[in-house]
Amino acid sequence: MTTRRVNLNTESVDNYLKAIYSLGGTEEERVTSTALSERLGVAPASVTNMLQKLAASPTSFVEYEARRGVRLSAAGRRRALEILRHHRLLEAFLYKVLDYPIEEVHDEAERLEHFISERFEERIDAKLGRPKFDPHGHCIPALDGKMVKRASQPLTAIEIEGHFVVESVSDRDATLLKKLKAHGISPGVHLHVIRSTHDELVLRTGRGSKPLHLPRSVAEAVRIRFTH
Amino acid sequence: MTTRRVNLNTESVDNYLKAIYSLGGTEEERVTSTALSERLGVAPASVTNMLQKLAASPTSFVEYEARRGVRLSAAGRRRALEILRHHRLLEAFLYKVLDYPIEEVHDEAERLEHFISERFEERIDAKLGRPKFDPHGHCIPALDGKMVKRASQPLTAIEIEGHFVVESVSDRDATLLKKLKAHGISPGVHLHVIRSTHDELVLRTGRGSKPLHLPRSVAEAVRIRFTH
DNA sequence: TAATTTAATTAGGTACACCTAAAATGGAGT
DNA sequence: ACTCCATTTTAGGTGTACCTAATTAAATTA
Ligand SMILES: [Mn+2]
Ligand SMILES: [Mn+2]
Ligand SMILES: [Mn+2]
Ligand SMILES: [Mn+2]
């Protein structure tokens, strides 16, 4: 029986690797089938199937043990970061060059990330002046896959009064992004949190504006740093 | 037996419709399975299969009679022209905005044309100032699918001395395109054909240049108009 | 420890877009 | 009218990526 080697250059494989990467966290923990199933909107059985296929392939992108979850190999991480680079460069490009509204860049990038060539990647990178961050404030991985994850915390973690800078906003929910935009909350903006209750945060943005009441469901989409 | 309706929003269907469109010529003749098979690089049996599927679908993009060939319906033509618009806008965009070399735009556009959104299409169109022609000199279909086919003829049809303007160059063969570029032959360039033999054309481009010997295999990629 | 619940895997499908090999069709030439 | 043969279609498969239902394994709880 010849080991029939499967084709790993597919949109699907890309998406599995990206999902494992982002669910794995900083310490690269094992990711469960259920978590992947939910993230990818695919039945658990389909996940198992794909993980077995990936693990069995000669160029193995993952370490997988049945019932113990999956994590990326070095090659898998490289590939995941390459797609993430495509994604974030595309977002920056759509936002800055093609004047997309911020809440629309993610979905378009999610599709195109799998189909642009290395030349396209290089050209938009050049056009943008080798940007380090995408429009949501997320770090763009370098060509060699290097990426520093900056220290930051969810705005909802704040329980006391204080001054902060918006590090990033979540890119997934367009409705939420529109709300944040309407309130002037975007990466780099200074926030003065006045108080935090069980269901909302009260804060000021910039200077001289009246206090803003932000439901926790909205504040969840914002990550912040302390102003040094 | 319920009429299981198939999904027609696929890259494959796009490519079949485009191929039928371009092989159909101006008078929209029937296209044979063999012609499609060759154009698409797919077995004749696969073509038959797809044509049957397309014809059977409720939203019929084609008129197909077994053994008599296929042609586009109005809806099919609309769809083919939409993809062609994507393709040519993309080529113009890659060339003008992202500084691609002319011989590389086609392949990238061929992939991306299926995946860009209507918003993307609109934005690159705006960025380019609503261009009418792609970098090879081909007409870009309007949003409503209207497109005037200009009168032109292959450079190889010329048998006598005369003055012409390059209308367009073929986009498919990158090697040929590089040769034409090296000789300064691109849309809008004036040509003075000096003589034509069985295996080459001798001509001058612009003013003051020394005569150029163009093999017929290269000249085939050039279409020209008379200078009025 | 035994019973229950949850998570994950196996088993057996479907749809899509291809393929090769075999059969059918129909037009050309005799 | 008949044979030939290129073209086209049918028949039967493959690989990818899903699905549902049934089963098994591993945690939890009692
Ligand atoms: Mn995104
Ligand atoms: Mn994606
Ligand atoms: Mn082209
Ligand atoms: Mn195409």
CA distance B106 to B91: 6
Q: Residue A91's pLDDT is what?
A: 98
Distance B183 CA to ligand 4 centre (A): 29
Question: Which numeric CATH code is attached to A153-226?
Answer: 2.30.30.90
Note the maximum CA span of chain B: 73
Per-residue model confidence (pLDDT) at position B210: 87
CA nearest to B127 within chain A: A98
For residues B52-56, average pLDDT:
97
Q: How far apart are CA B37 and CA B19, in angstroms?
A: 10
Who's near A10: CB < 8 A, 6+ residues apart? none
Q: What is the mean pLDDT of residues B93-104?
A: 98
Q: What is the mean pLDDT of chain B?
A: 95
Q: What is the pLDDT of residue B5?
A: 76
pLDDT at position A23 = 98
Domain limits, CATH 1.10.10.10, in chain B = 10-72
The whole-angstrom separation of Cα A112 and Cα A61 is 22
CA–CA distance, A226 with A164 (Å, rounded to integer): 5
Q: Tell me which amino acid residue B8 is.
A: L
DSSP 8-state code for residue A145? S
CATH number of this structure's domain B82-149, picked from the four choices 1.10.3720.10, 1.10.60.10, 3.10.20.600, 1.10.3470.10:
1.10.60.10
For residue B104, the CA-to-ligand 3 centroid distance in Å is 9
Residue (of A211, A5, A49) closest to A16 by Cα position:
A49
Say how many Å lie between the CA of residue B59 and the centre of ligand 3.
Answer: 27
Choose from A114, A119, A121 for mutation: most chain B CBs within 10 A: A119
The answer to whether some atom of strand C lies closer than 7 Å to the beta carbon of A12 is no
Strand duo A222-226 + A162-169: pairing? antiparallel
Element (H, E) at B97: none
Q: Name the residue among B98, B99, B120 with its Cβ closest to that of A108.
A: B120
- Of the candidates A17, A50, A19, A47, the one whose C-alpha atom is nearest the C-alpha of residue A33 is A47
Kindly tell me if the per-residue pLDDT of B1 is higher than 50. no
Q: Report chain B residues whose CB lies below 8 A from the CB of A94.
A: 120
What's the pLDDT score for residue A18? Answer: 98
Note the strand C nucleotides within 7 A of protein beta carbons.
Answer: 7-12, 15-22, 25-26
CA distances from B65 to A151, B27, B35, B96, B149 (A): 65, 18, 16, 43, 28
Spanning CA of B145 to C1' of D6, the rounded length in angstroms is 37
Q: How far A105 CA sits from the closest chain B CA (Å)?
A: 10
Q: How confident is the model at residue B38 (pLDDT cuts 50, 70, 90)?
A: very high
Taking Cα atoms as reference points, which of A145, A123, A147 lies closest to residue A133?
A: A147
Q: Which ligand is nearest to the CA of B12?
A: 4
Residue intervals in chain A for CATH 1.10.60.10: 82-149
pLDDT at A155: 97
List the A45 CA – D21 C1' distance (angstroms). 11
For chain B, where do the domains classified as CATH 2.30.30.90 start and end?
153-226
Distance A19 CA to C8 C1' (A): 18
Rounded CA gap, B27 and B20, in Å?
Answer: 12
**pLDDT tens digits for range B101-159:** 999 999 999 999 999 999 999 999 999 999 999 999 999 999 999 998 888 999 999 99
Domain covering B10-72 assigned CATH 3.40.50.300 in the classification = no
Question: The pTM is what?
Answer: 0.95
Mean pLDDT by 10 residues, chain A (228 residues): 77 98 94 98 98 95 98 98 98 98 98 98 98 98 92 94 97 96 96 95 84 96 91
Nucleotide nearest to A12 (CA to C1'): D17
Nucleotide nearest the Cα atom of A5 (by C1'): D15
